[in-house]
Amino acid sequence: MLKELPSVLVADDDPSIRKMLKTFLELEEFQVSEAADGEEAVSAAVEKSPQAVVLDVMMPGLNGYEVCRKLREHEKTRNSVIVFLSVAGKLDSRIQGFEIGADDYLCKPADPLELAARLKAHLRRNSIQKEKEAMLEKLAEKLAVMNQRLQVEAAADSLTKLYNRRYFLKRIEEEIRRSSRYSRFFCFLILDLDRFKEINDQYGHPFGDFVLKEFAAMLQGQLRGADLISRWGGEEFAVLLPETPLAEGKTVAERLKQACSAFSFPHLPPGKPTFSAGIVGFPEHGSSFNQLYETADKALYEAKTRGRNLILAG
226 and 177, same structural domain?
Answer: yes
Residue 273 lies in a domain: yes
pLDDT value at residue 60: 86
The predicted structure's pLDDT at residue 254:
94
Residue among 34, 235, 248, 284 flagged as catalytic = 235
For residues 18 and 62, state if they share a domain: yes
Pair 300, 182 in one domain: yes
What integer pLDDT is reported at residue 304 of this predicted model?
A: 94
Is residue 97 located within the same domain as residue 12? Answer: yes
Amino acid at position 36, single letter:
A
Active site residue 114: no
The reply to whether 176 and 306 lie within a common domain is yes
Asked if residue 174 and residue 110 are part of one domain, the reply reads no
* Mean pLDDT for the chain overall: 91
Q: Domain ends where: 88, 113, 131?
A: 131
**Per-residue pLDDT tens for 256-277?**
999 998 888 888 888 789 999 9
Mean pLDDT in each 10-residue stretch from start to end of the chain (314 residues)? Answer: 82 92 91 93 93 91 92 92 87 88 89 89 87 86 82 81 92 95 95 92 92 92 92 94 95 93 83 92 94 96 94 91
Do 91 and 172 lie in one domain? The reply is: no
- Per-residue pLDDT reduced to its tens digit, 170-221: 999 999 999 999 999 999 999 999 999 999 999 999 999 999 999 999 999 9
CATH code of the domain covering residue 13: 3.40.50.2300
**Is the domain of 119 the same as that of 239?**
no
Same structural domain, 123 and 191: no
Cα torsion 172, 178, 183, 188 to 10°: value is: -10
In-domain check, residue 137: no
Parent domain of 35? 7-131
126 lies in the same domain as 174: no
How many distinct structural domains can be found in the chain?
2
CB 65 within 8 A of CB 94: no
Residues 170 and 295 in one domain: yes
Question: Are the C-beta atoms of 35 and 44 separated by less than 8 Å?
Answer: yes
3-class secondary-structure state, position 10: strand
